[in-house]
Every structure is written in structure tokens, then in C-alpha cells.
Amino acid sequence: MVKKMYKKVMSVIKKPKLIIMKLLRCRLLRFIPDELFLKLMYKLHTGEKLDLKNPRTFCEKLQWLKLNDRKQEYVTYVDKYAVRTHIAQAIGEKYLIPMIGIYNSVNEINWDQLPERFVLKCTHGSNSNIVCTDKSKLDIKEAKRKLKKWMNQNWYWYGREWPYKEVKPRIICEEFISSDGNVPEDYKVMCFHGKAKLIQVHRDRFSENHTCDIYNTEWEKTGLSKSKDGLPNSDLVLEKPKLLDEMIDLSEKLSKNMCHARIDWYIVGDKLYFGEITFYSSSGFSQYDKKEDELLLGSWINTD
């Protein structure tokens, strides 16, 4: 444990930007207004000045949306438990991943009663998942540690994504859905003003081999990439999903009247499952490799 902590501290010391980012996110500096915070973080992440008066790139416009597109229903949509009711009403319960339980604290989880395979998610944040494909191999002590840490966090303070500020911290347990025992591909449909434009396909998401390919709605592979941010393309050209048209239609229905939203899905066998709704991919701090791609996606968001 000491060795692990030492390496973590040294990695931060060697990167001054990380120190500044951590300071900006600490409790003592929470008085910093959202706009100033976003300008500082944007500069640290991208090396560029954030133009909020005339935003042009995709990432700039995501920051603009954080400040200016504030519909109260977004709070429900980012809540991984509350959104289930919205999905059931909007498109039907059949698209929901079966739920095992909902907990207000880690101590409420009865690990002995959980099935051999399951997924635990914090309802109030992102990248806060415990994916268990074999309970006999799960380090429950470590899982509890992670969950307790996540439950004490408010994701709003990390990127000023305002909908997260009001979400009640809870843990949801869902069935592990798979047709072959592996984590299924993650399809992320990027919609702009209710129109699907691109589909991200994430493979091996929870491993070192994580790749992301981006297709257009005609299922033609694009050259869009975030390899500079550690998310490379694969060498594959995937077969067009049989449920692609349904996925696109439902994504457009769910993103109606939204400037931008990413609707996530899984396909297992012949079934389509809803994942989540995301408004600010990577909190708007992760740029595409090519500036022209950033400008293209930015042009699809109307901020007038």
C-alpha cells in the first residue's frame, strides 16, 4: 500500500498540471465561479484559451452548454436510477437492463445474496462501476473501498457539470448482460439537436486494450480519433449491427429538444439495452486528434 501511494504521489509531483487541477477541485476553492473554473481547467487540459463568447469547437461548445443549457429534467437524465423511469415511459421497460437492487450506502449491500455476475454503479457520477464477471474472484474489500470513495464524491465539482450537483448518491446493482461472458460492445450514439450523427463503438472498455471506433449513421467508419488522449482506433471494420436503425431511432427520440446528448446502448443477442444519457463527453476536456474534426462536430451545435 505504501509503495502504491508513493508512486501515485510521485506521478502527481512530476506533472505540475495535475497539482493545479487537484487544487482547483479541492473544497477550499469551490467558491470559484463556474465560468472561471471552466476556463482554467480548459487551458490546463487542452493548452488553449476557452472562447465562450464565440465557441467554435466541439469541446468549447460543451463548456458553453454547461453554462447555458440548464433544463431541470437533465438532473433526472444523468441519475442512473431515476432515468430508468424516464426510459420506461419514453420508449418502454424492455430496453432497461434488469435491476437487482438499489442501495443508499455500501453497508446496505448483501454481497452473499448477489449473483455470480453483476454490475454495481454509482447513480450520481461517471466511471464509477464495479463489473463482476465471477464473484469468487472479486476482491469485495477493494470493491467496498472504491464504492465508499465514490459515494462521498460530487461529480459536479470535477468539471462543473451542473446536473450532477443535485443527484442523490446511491448504488444500483444490475444484471451482467452478455452473450459470451465478456463485456459487450458499448455503442454511443452522438445526437445533435435530436439528430443522430455518429456512433462510437467501444470494445474491451475495462481493459488495457480499450479501443474506440466511430461510424456515421450509414455505418461507414470515419477517421475520428482521440488517440492522443489514450483512446486509439482499432484495426477492425465491424459488421453493421442488426439493431442499428432501432438504436438510431430511439436515440433521436430520447434526445429530442436537446442541443447535444450521447445515448449509450448495448446489444446482447437480439436485444437492445439502454446504458445512459451523457451531455458532456469526457467533461468536454478531451479533444479529437484533428482540429477540423473538432470544428465539424462543433458546427453541429447551435449556440445562437
Q: What DSSP string runs through 131-176?
A: EES-GGG--HHHHHHHHHHHHT--THHHH--GGGGGPPP-EEEEE-
Q: Which residues of the chain have pLDDT under 70?
A: 1-16
Predicted pLDDT of residue 283: 96
Predicted pLDDT of residue 285: 96
Please indicate, yes or no, whether the overall pTM of this predicted structure exceeds 0.95.
Answer: no
Predicted pLDDT of residue 13: 45
Helix 82-90, helix 244-254: angle, nearest 10: 110
User: For 39-78, what is each residue's pLDDT tens digit?
Assistant: 999 999 999 999 999 999 999 999 999 999 999 999 999 9
Residue 37, sorted as left (phi over 0), alpha (psi -120 to 50) or beta, turns out to be alpha
Q: Are 62 and 280 in contact (CB under 8 A)?
A: yes
Q: Are 51 and 42 in contact (CB under 8 A)?
A: no
Dist CA 99 CA 115 (whole Å): 12
Q: Indicate the length of the chain as a whole number.
A: 304
- Residue among 44, 43, 42, 40 at smallest CA distance from 32: 40
Residue with cell 482554467: 40
Dist CA 274 CA 89 (whole Å): 13
